[in-house]
Structure formats: C-alpha cells, structure tokens
Chains A and B, each alone.
Chain A
Amino acid sequence: MALIPVESEKTSRIRMMLNGEETDVSFAPYKTLLEVLREDMGHTGTKHGCELGECGACAVLLDGKAVLSCLVLALECEGRSVLTVEGLGTDGRLHPLQDAFADLGAAQCGYCTPAILVTAKALLDRNPNPNRAEIREAISGNLCRCTGYLQIFEAVEAAVLKIAEQAKAGA
C-alpha cells in the first residue's frame, strides 16, 4: 500500500491570524484545521466528537463565520483569521457569552461548549438581537447531550442583553 506521509513530516507551513495573533505553523499537509489547532498549536479548547462533520463540537470561526474545523484543511487557512474559544475573552475578562453560560448552567460536561460559544458569537456578530427561533437555528448543528439546550438559549439571550448594556455604557 502507498504510504501516507507521517505527521512528523511537517512539510506545510502557513501564516494565519489565530485569535488576533499572527501565527506561523508547520504541519503535515493532510491535516485538518482541527488537528493542527489541537496537535500542532496546543489549542485544545476546540473539541471533536466525530471528525466527520456531524456533531458540531469542533466549530471555530473562520473569517468570522462558523465552520466545522474537522472539515477544513489547515492548508486552506493561509492568511485567514481563526477564532477559537481561547480567543473569546479580552483583557483577562470573559466574553459576556462565557459569563452567561457559566452563570446559567449552559455548560454541563462542557465538551460541546467551546463550539457553541463561538457559533453563538458568530450569530450575535451578524444579528445583535436574535430571537429564540434564530438562536435555535444558529446552534442546530451543535449537538449537546447534557443540557436539553434550554439553558443554552437562555444564556445566549442573557448575553445579548449584557452586550447591549455594555454598548450603551460605552457609547
């Protein structure tokens, strides 16, 4: 059988913006963005539940849009911007979504949480005031087996209010 190059053959190299920081990374060319984030860049906050694009646990934002990182080749990310859960907070403070998820029981086992957080952020970035149907729709590709989703909806709604308050206070 034909031998596929092993991982130690990090023959590909790209530069991308990871969580706001310009970053170079070398990796084996067949690797997915998920694998490169976790294995080559030490960003294990992004999870996986199938590596087939079915569960949604590996979602990250690619140029602001939620994508399943298990279905994206890292090679496609040259010059692009990637946001993971590690990049959500700013200046040592949690993002309002993170605070709301923590306060309102939206994370039980916490495994699907990072992907749902970034997916919710993408929603709020394009629609700062979503209704519950829009929240349901936005995270319908992210499976959660613990919560039954309701506390997740409530946390997103609470974050919406918080962000609006902060914007008002800042304005």
Chain B
Amino acid sequence: MPGESKPLSAPDNSSESPTKSPEANGDKMQVIGVPRRRVDARAKVTGQTRFADDIFLPRMAHCKLLRSPHPHALIRKIDTSRALAHPGVYLVLTGKDVPIEYGILPVSQDEQALCVGHVRHVGDPVAAVIAREELTAFEALDLIDVEYEILTTISDPEEALATPEPRIHDYGESGNIHKLVALDFGDVEEGFAEADEVFEDTFFYQGNTHLPIEQHASVAIKDPDGKLTIWSSTQTPHYLHRALAKVLQMPPAHIRVIATPNGGGFGGKSDPFNHEIVVSKAAVMLDRPVKICLTREEVFYCHRGRHPVMMRFKTGVKKDGTITAVHLQTLIDGGAYGSYGVASTFYTGALQTTTYHIPRYRFQGCRTFTNKPPCGPKRGHGTPQPRFGQEVQLDKIAEKLKIDPAELRLRIVESSGAVTANYMRLGTIKLAECLRRLVKVSDWNAKFRKLPEGHGVGLACSAYLTGAGLPIYWNKMPHSGVQLKLDRGGGVTVFCGATEIGQGSDDVLASIVAEILGLETFDIRVYTGDTDLGPVDLGSYSSRVTLMAGNAAIQAAERAKEIISNAVAEKLSVPKERLRFAGKTVFDSAAPEKRMSFQDAVCLAEARFGTIGTVGSYTPPKSPALYKGGGVGPSPTYSYSAAVAEVVVNQVTGWITVPRIWIAHDIGRALNPTLARGQVEGGVYMGLGEALMEEQEFRRLPKKLSHALVHKFPSILEYKSPTSLDMPEVITELIEEPDPRGPFGAKEVGQGPLLPIMPAVANAVYDAVGVRIDEVPITPEKVMKALAEKRAGRAPRYGPGAFPRVDWPESLRVPPPWEGGDGNAVNDTPRPPKPSSEKAKVLSS
C-alpha cells in the first residue's frame, strides 16, 4: 500500500455501493451493460475448463464409498479385513477414523464423514476404500462386512410427528422434529376480523433435486511441504475449509481448498460433503493424491435439494384486495440431516412480506427429520414453496373479488425502501414496472379468461434476496474481499474467494475492474475460489456474489485508480478530478491530448509510491430484524420478478404444453446483458421442470424384501427434466433501475426468475381448463383427477387436504414497525438448554 494514501483497512459498513459510476461524470460505460463474451467462455467452448474430475495426478489413488442399503439402522459391527487384504487396496476407512461431527450450520453439526453407529438414509456412507484403481476400490466394497440392526423407518413429516421414537437425531425440538418456529408480527386475529373475506388454502410442493450435469468430484493431496490441498466441485470453499479444519483437527492455515469451476451447482454443492472429508483424510494418511468422483446415483443420495413442504395459507383481504393479515404454516420434510434446514425453515416464512404489503403476519414452520437424503438449498432456497402457495391463493382471491390478477397485485405491491412487518428492509422495488411491462408485452388483457377452452394464461410474482445479510457462522468480518495486483505490463489481477459455478462470477469481477480502470475484460486475470490465493468470499449461494464481491471489487479498483490518479495528476499537472480512465489510457477530460497509456501510468505510480496492490471488502448493512430468527431473510436489497405463462392443456390426456413464457425481472442493472438473460432463461427452465415434472420421490421395497424406503429413481433417465424439445419461447424483459446498494446498481438474477414460474403455470392451467392444481409438479395424472372432480360436480381441484396437526410453541411476538415495534420480540424467553449427556447415550447404543 502506498505511503500517502489514507488508511484503507476499515470495512465499508455503509449500505450504499462504493460505485463512482462513469455515468456520474456523464461518460458512457465501456464494459458494464454491454453484451459481452464472458471471460471464461473460451476455456469452456474448447473443453479446457478444468473441472475437479479432469484432474489427474501422478500416483493418484481412487476412493469409493460403501453406502448403507438401509434407510434407518444401527451399525453393530464393521469388518474391513477382507477388503484391506484385497490386492491393490491401500486403505480402508470407517467412521472411527473421522468421528468428529460437522455440518454447514453451527446449530446442526450432525453429520459424520462416515457413519459411526447410526445410518439415517439409503446412501449414508459407512466405509471408504482407497485403492490403486477405481475398479479395485469398487470391488473391495463388496468385501466389507457390516452388521446392521434395522430401526423403524420414518418416511414423511406426518410419520415423523406421529413417531417420536426412534429418534433419527438426538437433538432438535423433540422426537423427530428438527425445528419449530412461531412468529407473530402483530395480531393476525384482529386482522382477519377486519377482513371482508378470509381465504384458507392448503398446498403441497414436492421435493426435487438440482441435477447438475457434473457429478461431485474431489482430489486431495498432501502437499510436498506436508500441508493439505483439495480441489473440489464446491460452491462454498470457505465453509469446506472450516469443516475440514474441524474434522481433521488441522490448523486451517495448513489446509488449502480450491473450488474448481462447478459443472452446475444450483445449491447442490453448498454443503461440506462426506466425500470431501474422506479423500482429504486419506491423502494425509497415504501421502499420495486421492480422487473421488461420485456416480450419478450417489449424487441423488447427496441431494440437499428442494424440501417437500406442506403449506396452509390463511389470508384476510378487503374488497379492494388490500391484505389485512396472513397466517402461514409450513410442514417441511428435512430428510436425514440438518444441512441448511434451520435456515430453510425460516426461509419458508421470511420473504412472504417482501412483495405485497402485509400489515399483520403469523408464521409457523416445522421441519422434521425423515429417513431420506437430506434436503437443503436449491435455487430459491425455501422460498419457491410458499411463493407458489401465496401466488396461487392470490389468483383465487382475485377471481373471488372480481379483480384482474395483475391489477390486484399492482394495488398491493410493497413500496421501495419499506421495512416490512417482519423487519425486512427492502431496497428498490420495481415490481409494478415489471407487471405493467408484462401486461403489455404478453397482451394479457386480450388473453386472460378469453382464450379458447384448453388454452390459458396465468400470472405470478416473486422476490428474492440479493445475498444473505448474515454469514453462516457468527462473525463481524466482511462477507467478501478482493485483492488487486497491478503489474508493470499494465495487467491487473483480481484475487477473490468467489466461486464460479457457471453463473459468471469471474466475469462480474473482471468487468467491474475493467470498467473502473478503463481496460477490457481480456486485460484482467481472475483467480477465484482458492482459499490460499484470495481473500474470503463466503461462497456462491443466496445470490450474493454479484453484489458483495462486486462491491468489494469496486472498492479495490477505486483505490487502485486513486493511487494511479495521484501519480498521473502530478506528472501531467492536471487536477486529479479531471482524469478519466478509458481505452487503456489515462487522460485529462478537459484536454484529452494530455494523456498516457494505462501501462505507463501504472509504472509511474509504482515508481512514485512502490508496488501497487489494493484491497476491497464488503459487509452488508445491519438489519432492523433483531428478534430471534430475524437473521434469515435480511438482504442488502431484493430482486423482483413477474411472469406470465401460456399453457395448452389436453383434456383427454391431461398433458400440459407451455408454448410461451413472458418474464420481467427487476435486476437493477444488467452488468453483462448476455449473461443476465441466460440466468433468467435458465431460471425459467428450471422452474418449468419443477412445475411440470421434477420430483425426488421415494418408495418402499416389498415387505418380503427389506421394506426399505428407497429412492424411486436415482437416475437421470427416470428423474424427468425438461429437454431442448420442452423448452418454450421466453420473452425476457429486464427492468433496469439501478439500486444504490448494488455494484453499478445491479441486483441478483440467478434465483429470482425461477420463483414465479410454478404458480404462473398453475394459474394458467386454471385459466385453461378451470381446475386448481394446488401442488407441484402439475402432472397429467393430477390434471386428469381434477378434471374428473370437475365433471362430477365436485370442487375442481387436486391438492392436499387438511394441514396436519402440529403442536406449535407459543409465538414470539414482534410488534410491526407501524405498531411501535423496535425489531425485538416482546416475550423473548431463552429456551432451556438441553442435557448434553443425551447425545453420547444414543451414539453408544
């Protein structure tokens, strides 16, 4: 750092982006907002991007995991001697070699890299073989003898509520309830009493999985100097780093995690995984590289996908559509482990208030453990399920109140900068603009309730975080850091922990630095996802990277620009404020002939001030949600989307065709419009998969076999996802009104556009054939059943019945801002601590 510059180490805690946009000077931007080839495109189209399984190292051994064939059992005995004696086998590990529990959330440290005494789903790993060849390791799995004692299987949340014993875990609320949440923001009963109409609906959202085309893979080595390095397809190298340090009992400084570019993530590579810990342990023990690449079947067992959620919405409205109160209950199938589940539980309630004004809100959520692969964060994390319920119910409300669905939403849309009933502070909201644009481009008014029988249109809206406001583990450090190195050749290198999962984070970093320093993205080198090379970025989840790493990059680049400006201003005798950086030169905006090349400017600055390097960091603003649980939901700002789906429903087969989707997305600013559109279309695609076909389903084997609960179809062939033949035309409208909190005004685009698709399709099906499908996926079978109900003169609906009985705890009562609340609960009493001996007892049983 040059001696003259002011102290730069203090984190920037203001909520506004440090952008000094060229537009502020009336200059046109050269990189930002221009459709461009992304910086990593050439590597990707030539097959040179090095994914984790593309790494082959000398002396590399291969690892395979022995997985439980039982959904729920105690391990009585494991004998590995025959496997160890198998020619070519180097090492066999069992749970006792890596017994320390870990998990992504500090409150759910409930996983073991290899199960010690208790397996909780089919696919839970119990032993690992490391051998010279992959095939040898695979063969040796058969030579491991495991004695299991079968336990009662819990297959869904209702069974979990009814079956407190045996417990899948010895922590949580009680029995097989992992997490209970009850929050009151104002008196909902009062709100319902004020309503002209009260609507009650139940919905079910089936679980589904990420299905990244790249199977998870990892390669670990003991470095020549004795430290550990792991390359892995992970979205969260920093959290993996922490988990490895904990389980392997190694100083974090002696572990290097390199996130290889992910061949698709979508949230499925956001947890620290057992296989990553196992190959790290084996590499340290064997002192040779160890690789694992999961089979597709194993990827289904890793899962961490969309939670199946049963929902009950009770909503009070005035005749004009104004909402007086909402009471939402969610019952969540968590699968066998905690994963992100506590956060997911809060997320099923946290964002309902961010689209429409809800003056009083009660949220009750319950996550249960079941003997299935653990659920976790998938694109939209916990929010697509309640968004589906809310937006389908709004469609029913609009019909009953005889208000056009778009008009209804326009009346109740929340305003920019509002603090909601549950203390989410919102940024810019251009949802009304999204709706107006949609109505126009989709010709909504000419189509809604006017298309011929079998044809329909449906509309829905949504909002999503632009980055989680709080880190996974409590700390006061920045969420993202960037270091810049400027070299004498005029090159600029960006170091950042951000992880490229296909979303374009490397391009975000390069484009921001290039714009500020007047360069092209090809002049920038980007080193990301490496815990040794770059400062921490918390990871590619919660749509946080563009805003957080982007703002950190702006700060670092502006600081570099400042140093160079000081040197150039002095040399050219030009006031610093008049200098501009563009076209790889630095020049006087008042007398452009006074100029020097960027390279000369860097050399000048280095001669004047010493080696040039700068840092930038970003910490989100403090949230006004101070109550317990208020840490899930806050974000620097939120993106908004609205979509119209057009469907054709065949009333003989129930088959649904989607010829067209119109979607408007409030993005703030598209840093690279080519990539932004790709994210929107990819979100629409994935949303259609969830709406129409994707489901993570389970079945019991026949009684004469084990009666085990197994994945119905752990293969890509049977797990239906849309192909190129299924993809509709998508008309994307990006609404660009810069948000002052985002880098150059940008908000997220990776997750939000998925959210309105499922309810838009459901609403369109109703418009087409007059039946309500209150669950996803909306399969032909369900459509046929609902049509049969309609023909029989019964309620034309397919969906869940009554919401199951849950013993909810007393609500935390948090008065909303307009009732004089300060963000705290008025009845916050800490829960009694649980006896710590309980855990040891169960594990030794």
Chain A residues engaging chain B, CB cutoff 8 angstroms: 1, 3-4, 6-8, 38-39, 42, 44-52, 54-55, 57, 84-86, 88-89, 94, 98-99, 101-105, 107-114, 117, 135-137, 139-153
Most chain B beta-carbon neighbours within 10 Å: one of A55, A57, A117, A153: A55
11 sampled A-B residue pairs with Cβ under 8 A: A4-B135, A7-B134, A38-B54, A99-B45, A101-B44, A108-B504, A109-B212, A139-B724, A143-B716, A144-B213, A148-B730
- What B residues does A84 contact at CB under 8 A? 47
Q: Which of B708-723 contact A (CB under 8 A)?
A: 715-717, 721, 723
Q: Are B215 and A49 in contact, CB atoms less than 8 angstroms apart?
A: yes
Q: Are B214 and A49 in contact, CB atoms less than 8 angstroms apart?
A: yes
- Complex Cα gap A109–B214 (Å): 9
Q: Are B132 and A6 in contact, CB atoms less than 8 angstroms apart?
A: yes
Q: How far is the CB of B498 from chain A (nearest CB, A)?
A: 15
Q: Are A105 and B213 in contact, CB atoms less than 8 angstroms apart?
A: no
Closest to A112 in B: B213
Q: How far is the CB of A145 from chain B (nearest CB, A)?
A: 5
- Complex Cα gap A1–B136 (Å): 12
Q: Are B715 and A50 in contact, CB atoms less than 8 angstroms apart?
A: yes
- What A residues does B727 contact at CB under 8 A? 136, 148-150
Q: Which one of B118-126, B316-324, B681-689 is at the interface?
A: B681-689
Among B215, B684, B724, point to the contact of A136 (Cβ < 8 A): B724
Q: Are A142 and B44 in contact, CB atoms less than 8 angstroms apart?
A: no
Q: Which of B1-53 contact A (CB under 8 A)?
A: 37-38, 40-51, 53
Closest to A103 in B: B37
Q: Are A148 and B685 in contact, CB atoms less than 8 angstroms apart?
A: yes
Most chain A beta-carbon neighbours within 10 Å: one of B262, B501, B724: B724
Task: Knowing A111-B51, A151-B677 are in contact, say whether A6-B136 is a contact too (CB < 8 A).
Answer: yes
Chain B residues engaging chain A, CB cutoff 8 angstroms: 37-38, 40-51, 53-54, 56, 88, 132-136, 139, 142, 210-215, 261-266, 295-296, 501-504, 674-675, 677-678, 681-686, 715-717, 721, 723-725, 727, 729-730
Most chain B beta-carbon neighbours within 10 Å: one of A50, A89, A144, A150: A150
Q: Are B213 and A47 in contact, CB atoms less than 8 angstroms apart?
A: yes
- What A residues does B724 contact at CB under 8 A? 135-137, 139-140, 142, 144, 149, 152-153
Chain B interface, DSSP helix/strand/loop, else mixed:
loop
- Complex Cα gap A130–B410 (Å): 43
Closest to A104 in B: B674
Chain A interface, DSSP helix/strand/loop, else mixed:
loop
Q: Are A145 and B133 in contact, CB atoms less than 8 angstroms apart?
A: no
- Complex Cα gap A107–B39 (Å): 12
Q: Are B42 and A146 in contact, CB atoms less than 8 angstroms apart?
A: no
Q: How far is the CB of B748 from chain A (nearest CB, A)?
A: 16
Q: Are A6 and B47 in contact, CB atoms less than 8 angstroms apart?
A: no
- Complex Cα gap A3–B134 (Å): 14
Among B45, B263, B683, point to the contact of A111 (Cβ < 8 A): B263
- Complex Cα gap A16–B675 (Å): 39
- What A residues does B133 contact at CB under 8 A? 6-8
Q: Are A107 and B682 in contact, CB atoms less than 8 angstroms apart?
A: no
Task: Knowing A55-B716, A102-B41, A147-B682 are in contact, say whether A110-B677 is a contact too (CB < 8 A).
Answer: no
- Complex Cα gap A124–B221 (Å): 44
- What B residues does A46 contact at CB under 8 A? 47
Among B43, B49, B51, B213, point to the contact of A143 (Cβ < 8 A): B213
Among A98, A99, A139, A146, point to the contact of B678 (Cβ < 8 A): A146
- Complex Cα gap A54–B213 (Å): 11
- Complex Cα gap A88–B685 (Å): 29
Q: Are A109 and B501 in contact, CB atoms less than 8 angstroms apart?
A: yes
- What B residues does A3 contact at CB under 8 A? 139
- Complex Cα gap A145–B264 (Å): 7
Pairs A-B, 6 closest by C-beta atoms? A45-B47, A109-B502, A110-B44, A111-B263, A148-B685, A102-B41
Q: How far is the CB of B676 from chain A (nearest CB, A)?
A: 9
Q: Are B715 and A54 in contact, CB atoms less than 8 angstroms apart?
A: yes
- Complex Cα gap A3–B261 (Å): 36
Q: Are B264 and A109 in contact, CB atoms less than 8 angstroms apart?
A: yes
- What B residues does A55 contact at CB under 8 A? 213, 296, 716
- Complex Cα gap A124–B215 (Å): 30
- What A residues does B47 contact at CB under 8 A? 44-46, 84-86, 113-114
- What A residues does B681 contact at CB under 8 A? 147-148, 150-151
Closest to A100 in B: B45
- What A residues does B264 contact at CB under 8 A? 109, 111, 145-146
Q: Are A140 and B723 in contact, CB atoms less than 8 angstroms apart?
A: yes
Closest to B679 in A: A108
Task: Knowing A8-B133, A149-B724 are in contact, say whether A51-B296 is a contact too (CB < 8 A).
Answer: yes
Closest to B44 in A: A110
- What A residues does B723 contact at CB under 8 A? 140-141, 143
Closest to A109 in B: B502
Q: How far is the CB of B651 from chain A (nearest CB, A)?
A: 26
- What B residues does A98 contact at CB under 8 A? 45-46
- Complex Cα gap A141–B729 (Å): 19
Closest to B49 in A: A110
Q: Are B45 and A110 in contact, CB atoms less than 8 angstroms apart?
A: yes
Q: How far is the CB of A91 from chain B (nearest CB, A)?
A: 14
Task: Knowing A7-B133, A150-B730 are in contact, say whether A52-B41 is a contact too (CB < 8 A).
Answer: no
Among B43, B266, B675, B716, point to the contact of A110 (Cβ < 8 A): B43
Among A94, A110, A149, point to the contact of B502 (Cβ < 8 A): A110
- Complex Cα gap A109–B678 (Å): 11
- Complex Cα gap A19–B501 (Å): 29
Closest to A35 in B: B134
- What B residues does A142 contact at CB under 8 A? 724
Q: Are A94 and B42 in contact, CB atoms less than 8 angstroms apart?
A: yes
- Complex Cα gap A94–B47 (Å): 12
Most chain B beta-carbon neighbours within 10 Å: one of A3, A8, A101, A149: A149
Closest to A5 in B: B135
Task: Knowing A7-B135, A8-B132, A51-B296 are in contact, say whether A137-B503 is a contact too (CB < 8 A).
Answer: no
Task: Knowing A7-B133, A146-B678 are in contact, say whether A107-B684 is a contact too (CB < 8 A).
Answer: no
Q: Are B45 and A107 in contact, CB atoms less than 8 angstroms apart?
A: yes
- Complex Cα gap A129–B316 (Å): 57
- What A residues does B266 contact at CB under 8 A? 145
Closest to A53 in B: B717
Most chain B beta-carbon neighbours within 10 Å: one of A48, A85, A109, A151: A109
